[in-house]
Chains A and B, each alone.
Chain A
Amino acid sequence: MNKGVFWKGLRDGLPICMGYFAVSFAFGIQAAAAGLTAFQAGLLSLLNLTSAGQFAGLGVIAAAGSYIEMAALQLVINLRYLLMSAALSQKVEPKTGTVSRLMMAYGVTDEVFGVSVLVDGTLYPRYSYGLIAIATFGWVAGTALGASAGAVLPDRIISALGIALYGMFLAVILPPAKKERPVTVAVLSAMALSTLCAVVPGVRALSSGMRIILVTVAVAAFCAAKWPVKEQ
């Protein structure tokens, strides 16, 4: 049974792997341009497993910024993981031990979070491990390949893979949005607000991570006030 959960995680993680491959391939190319070796780029991806933070981090490295600057930047861009990790804490099987929690925490990315927080019922660590294993494989392999041989994959393939993650997000949020009215409102208003944030001067200048936090907090707080979730 437990084994089955791991395999299910692997299978559900396949679209994450595809999407990560495309994005991290682009990251690898950029990392090589910033002067990193394929090994360094791959290590960076393995230890960080985050897209926006890594791209922004390359900028600091290329500009020889300070470590404090790097730490502050990562904090701001990746602060959304704090919300995600808190949401997961309510979803995970309550008896899950600290070591398992620390291992699951490694894989709190936008995509792994999105899939694992919305599984039916309780979240078992082994399911997360399946997702994380295949996602990390795609992320690190794409980075190393992009950094060492940026030109091997045709541009068209990279372009097509670029949409994979978003397709997956839609597959995760639309079925519940169809069933529950408040979720429909949450999804549509979040999309509208994030569009607004992307065009309004001033707000537009914020990092994408910050904008996502703003939209998430505003929409989730509004929906929570208007449609409190009943006790299960």
Chain B
Amino acid sequence: MQANIYIYILVMALVTYLIRALPLTLIRREIQNPFIRSFLHYVPYATLAAMTFPAILTSTNQIWSAVAGFAVAIVLAWRGKGLLMVASAACITVFLVELLPFF
């Protein structure tokens, strides 16, 4: 295994990079088809929402700190706070909740 670790790394990098590079370099025009345009409009919301939940619940050491961080993030994000503020507040909440004696 030690002998070919670098080949593994290169294979991984090559496949991953091609997936990322092809659409961005090949699709040079604005897509005209209204369905595809609309589809791509909704892609980020659907992807990010699907990645966030339920994964956020298991992103920390225990579920209750994650639930608390999730709640704080929802409130702040809903009020339009910036990325750094929402992310930091969620982290601090998790940290504080995990300091509580009964966890």
Contacts and interface: CB of A to CB of B under 8 A. Distances in A.
A12 B54 CA distance: 24
Q: How large is the interface on A (under 10, 10 to 19, 20 to 34, 35 or more residues)?
A: 35 or more
Given A12-B83, A168-B83, A90 B49 contact: no
B70 to A, nearest CB: 7
Interface in B69-103: 69-70, 73-74, 76-78, 80-92, 94-95, 98-99
Given A15-B88, A43-B9, A163-B94, A85 B21 contact: yes
Interface of B: 1-2, 5-17, 19-31, 34-56, 59-61, 65-66, 69-70, 73-74, 76-78, 80-92, 94-95, 98-99
Contact of B5 (A40, A88, A115, A198): A40
A167 B69 contact: yes
A5 interface: no
A70 B90 contact: no
A43 B13 CA distance: 10
A35 B31 CA distance: 46
A187 B45 contact: yes
A186 B53 contact: no
Nearest to B31: A90
Nearest to A182: B42
A50 B50 CA distance: 17
Interface in A57-107: 57, 60-62, 64, 67, 70-71, 74-75, 78-90, 92, 94, 98, 101-102, 104-106
